Amino acid sequence: MNAEEAKKRIEELRTLVEYHAKRYYDDDAPEISDFEYDMIMVELRNLEKEFPEFSSKDSLTQKVGGHVKKGFKEVEHEVPLQSLQDIFNFDELVEFDNKIKKAEEEHGKTTKYVVETKIDGLSAALKYENGILVQGATRGNGLIGEDVTENLKTIKTIPQKLKEPLNITVRGEVFISKKDFEQMNEERALEEQPLFANARNAAAGSLRQLDSNITASRPLDIYIFNVQKIEGKEFESHYEELLFLENLGFNVNPVKIPCDTIEEAINAINKIGEEREKLTFGIDGAVVKVDNLSLRQDLGSTAKTPRWAIAYKYPPEKKETILKDIICQVGRTGVITPMAILEPVSVAGSKISKTTLHNEDFIKEKDLRIGDTVVIQKAGDVIPEIVEVKKEKRTGKEIEFTMPTVCPVCGAEAIREEGEAAIRCMGIECPAKLLRNIIHFVSKEGMDIEGLGENLVQQFIEKGLIANIADIYTLTFEDIASLKKNGTKFATNLINAILDSKKRPFYKLLTALGIRHIGTKSAKTIAKHFKTIEYLMNAQKEELAELEDVGSIMASSIYEFFRQEQTIDLINKLRDAGVNMKEEETESKEQRFEGLTFVLTGSLENYTREEATSIIESFGGKVSSSVSKKTSYVLAGEEAGSKLTKAQSLGVTILTESQFEEMIKG
């Protein structure tokens, strides 16, 4: 490679590294594995070494990635929180040892090594004054981090007060254990929320929350691994420091192996690798540290890394196993997800017997068949995934898999909508969707049944009192009162709220049914046009698609929804319960806003958004969520934001609340 080619490649790699570093450090949402990122960094570092004329202090090989997140105060670290030089083979470790030996001769000192696990988490510094925790900060760019004191105080293993009244700053790694991480992702899968890519980013995202209540709800832990600064005490060795930190009450990294030679250090690294699966926490390597603190001072640091420590990175572990079966699970929103049932195999610390296959397209892309020999890898060393099919090992007995056309839980039709990868159960009475459907049905946007929250609904379901949405209207006073001590008043209020919900406008029922793609705005349009549930249920796709605010996708969704047996059964039950299913004829008002489009922004003093919208619509006007040249008026309250700015730039008329009231009065 000549100099011109090297320069071009270095620029490409720097752009790539900066992008992925931002996704990793700032967004806590990596797009590639740690190993892939490391390999890009290795190539960049080697090229910069070979062509030093193109080296730059702004390269991420020379500085720590990461920036302070907006909303956090900045903390300037008294002692920089540096990163470590990564190596990937033992030859590089021997080279590191040779440099240390040379420094020993030069300074007339000797040292041992300490080998520790490189915990896969987020680095943080804890500052204590007189033994009291006064500040906690993330690493950030190594020099300036984020003040996350209140968030760190929610971690139970961080002592708020030390056993001695010391002024000390320590460094540790915030992490989530393997067991807790898997449980978090299982819960997110049930809620059909995006899964965390790995434990490190889950921990980082949890710690860097602006709301400490969210942090407190996450199972964060910490291991301390270094004294950054201490007053009134001196130590000769790093290992001595770690033992002192344990006595002070800190949760210190449990894997810390003293080694006399580099050969012992290599043995320790191999031992950690062999026993990696037994660790309760995730690691992405092993760290070799000079134990002699005085020699550390002599060795010093570069701008990015200390010269007295180095990190050995383990390669990602892959194992072969058999794809025994593919089953389908139904999530709470009805998404049917294929799951691989595997011959159990141990990979990177845990036994894998199943993994998600995501969707139909993933199975087709990999050409997966039941009976295949597949290669398993843990993405980010946490989430198991199938990365390869060993087609050369096929015997001809493998079975092709097709996604079901009916729900495996309730037997309702399963449909894949155009432009989507997911297949969904259409059954509104499907047990897998029951909790989610009821929560939506009773919500403020739906039937607005005050007092009927998720915990209470869950109890009704567990006791067999609710098996479908319509059972809400069969609940008795005794059913409700039995769930609370002295629940008489609560039961009375909830019964009244349930009875009141029967009188809700027709559009509220349509919103509450949770028809895919149908929100409050389109529900109002549909209710106004069809007037009754009977007319709507008999409507054809073409008629539905012609409605304003509907279109072909919504039309198909509505049409298919009302063709399901479970939907018809539910509508009949709700009708028998006395729930309103028609648009009430209201006294016609002057249509003074006909043809006018309003946009609401900011907080109004005398009206909620919903109330203002109802008033505008009652006079024949429309309410839009975005400002355009077609907008007639922008009704602006307190703390109006970007919509107001855009309206001003487009020359749209701005209304104050008092001007709006004058228009209502006419």
Helices 34-50, 3-21: crossing angle, 10 deg rounding: 150
CB within 8 A of 95, min separation 6: which ones?
A: none
Four-CA torsion 375, 377, 383, 389, nearest 10 degrees: -20
Are 600 and 615 in contact, with CB atoms under 8 Å apart? no
Are 175 and 200 in contact, with CB atoms under 8 Å apart? yes
* Tokens (6 digits) for 626: 């975005």
* 57 given a catalytic annotation: no
Residues 487 and 188: their CA atoms lie apart, in Å, by 33
CA distances from 87 to 1, 285, 296, 362, 478 (A): 24, 10, 20, 34, 68
Nearest to 540 by CA among 527, 556, 524: 556
> For residue 266, how many C-alpha atoms fall within 13 Å in the half-sphere facing its CB?
14
Catalytic residue among 118, 256, 304, 622: 118
User: Is residue 380 helix, strand or coil?
Assistant: coil
CA distances from 219 to 66, 133, 182, 198, 206 (A): 23, 20, 11, 14, 9
Start-to-end Cα distance in the chain:
79
Are 376 and 352 in contact, with CB atoms under 8 Å apart? yes
* Tokens (6 digits) for 370: 């039941």
Which residues are known to be catalytic? 118
